[in-house]
Structure 1
Amino acid sequence: MADVLVTGINKKDRNSTHEGITHLGNPSANWKWPRAAVIASIENNTNTFFTNVNGNRGDIRVIDGPNGPYVRTIADGKLNDNLLSLPELP
């Protein structure tokens, strides 16, 4: 199982608070995956994913929401939205 650093995201509308993340990735590591592939990888225990914002690690977890599963970070035992603070992927 690989521990994978996520450094960027894509959203359909970057400024929308209602549109979800469509892709996660790391251009330095030359990868960009659809959200569904990241969710499947986490649920199948194939990979773990995390962010590193200002030196703070945030582990990415799958959350079951009213509109289906989505990804979110958890750091220090608290859910937060570090993913949304990441830059847009090319």
Structure 2
Amino acid sequence: MAQRIQVLCIRKTKKQSRHEAISHIGGKNPDGSRWKISEKDAINGIETGRWSFYVVRGDQTADVLVWQTPQGQKFLRTGHDVTTADNLLSLPQCR
């Protein structure tokens, strides 16, 4: 069974853009230490069943899923919830 992990922050390829690709996701371990992994590693972890990521915004939880462009490029974004916004891109930048 996949380990379920909350994502608390992201790194983007271009920090100023709300629509640029995510390069890393991050969060906190149970001991309070921070973790950060590349988007590629997160995608691999989801696809192999090792990890299941999610984002919390207010009282809503959205799963982080692997999506694919028409050209075959894989990327992360949240699944559909009560908003049309991608909650993953709304997260603060990881330190």
Normalization by structure 1: what TM-score? 0.87
1:84 to 63, 69, 89: 89
Q: Deviations over 1:6-35 (max 9, x none)?
A: 000001212225520000001x32210000
Normalization by structure 2: what TM-score? 0.83
Higher strand share: 1
Cα distance in 2, alignment partners of residues 67 and 19 from structure 1: 17
Offset of 1:60 from its aligned partner? Answer: 0.5
Cα distance in 2, alignment partners of residues 71 and 16 from structure 1: 16
Say what the alpha-carbon RMSD is for the aligned residues. Answer: 1.9
The structure that has the greater radius of gyration is 2
> 46-55 or 58-67: which moved more?
58-67
Gaps in structure 1 of 5+ consecutive residues: none
Gaps in structure 2 of 5+ consecutive residues: none
Return structure 1 stretches of 4+ with deviation > 3 angstroms: 75-80
CA contact (8 A) 1:73 1:79 kept: no
The 5 Å alignment of 1:62-81 reads: 62-65=66-69, 66=71, 68-76=73-81, 80-81=85-86
Q: Percent identity?
A: 30
